[in-house]
Structure 1
């Protein structure tokens, strides 16, 4: 099986007109990448229409929250990335303003085409522009494909784990972190200790 060809993607903020596609990609991405990690019965019950109201709220949230989409030359969405201020006090870095990458999700047909990387990079740039200097994310512990994507883009597992509710099930997730002011190399400022959570 060969790699998908890299495509040209235009990244922009999501708007109300994207809600249907965001909901579709949300479901199809989970059903593709979490298969074998999350119980099939939960994935098979995911329907885009169940997510429309949540996406209507998300695309209207003010900065620093943001939803970024990658669209191809025909205007079709290939991926999205959602970011916000860190939502849990335990995720806040002791010394740096902390943002959270809530997720990068790609249409399974566009995985490996650069769509995920495009929205990932734009979302991290957005957090940095909003004054965040550190970011965290949570990912399914046994989703090695997604973990590899994040590791390839400079994220490092910091040792934190917890259980995440998936319907009536609990699945383990792990936390990754990275510095935003040194995104290309993921190196902290000189003399800085990595990381100290409060």
Structure 2
């Protein structure tokens, strides 16, 4: 089973939104009302956001596919001299299979090619699985802004 990472296209949007909604449910469940992460209004907002990200000049959306099936997605943007990992999601059934690491590596490789020296992200504070993943990959608390509401702000020095 070969893993392929490629740039997303508009044809991927439905699958991306489904994966995003499924992944978010795993860490928001028990912390937020279901409508806040999986209700129709939120799914619509998510679809709009992903549509903009796929079309944006300053953003990149990467899809991870195994045997033609979307199993992960990552998005980042670089603007005003700052690189931000805005999303990294793996289908829960594919956790701990290397998909997240492959997406993370594809992102950091792209950042290094552009000369980025650091990157930032926000992670939902109760999402200990994601926090552990990012710590394993070298992310640490951002010394300038360690928290943004319910999210921790992390920084990676490249």
TM range (shorter): 0.7 to 0.9
* Number of residue equivalences: 155
Query: Does residue 47 of structure 2 align to residue 69 of structure 1?
Result: no
Q: Name the CA distance, whole Å, in 2 between partners of 1:147 and 1:86.
A: 25
Of Structure 1 and Structure 2, which has the larger fraction of its residues in helix?
2
Q: Name the CA distance, whole Å, in 2 between partners of 1:157 and 1:37.
A: 22
- After superposition, the CA RMSD in angstroms is 2.0
Match of 1:127 in 2: 111
> Which of 117, 137, 147 matches 1:153?
137
1:33-182 matches, within 5 Å, as 33-45=27-39, 48-62=43-57, 64-73=58-67, 75-85=68-78, 97-159=81-143, 160-163=146-149, 172-180=150-158
In structure 2, relative to structure 1, the CA distance for the partners of 1:128 and 1:146 (3 Å cut) is: same
Larger radius of gyration: 1
Q: Mind listing any 5+ residue stretches in structure 1 that lack a counterpart?
A: 1-6, 88-96, 164-171, 181-198
User: TM-score normalized by structure 2?
Assistant: 0.87
Quote how far apart the aligned CAs of 1:120 are.
Answer: 1.3
Query: Any conservation in 2 of the 1:136–1:177 contact (CA below 8 Å)?
Result: yes
In structure 2, relative to structure 1, the CA distance for the partners of 1:53 and 1:80 (3 Å cut) is: same
1:180-195 matches, within 5 Å, as 180=158
Quote how far apart the aligned CAs of 1:174 are.
Answer: 0.9
Q: Mind listing any 5+ residue stretches in structure 2 that lack a counterpart?
A: none
User: TM-score normalized by structure 1?
Assistant: 0.71
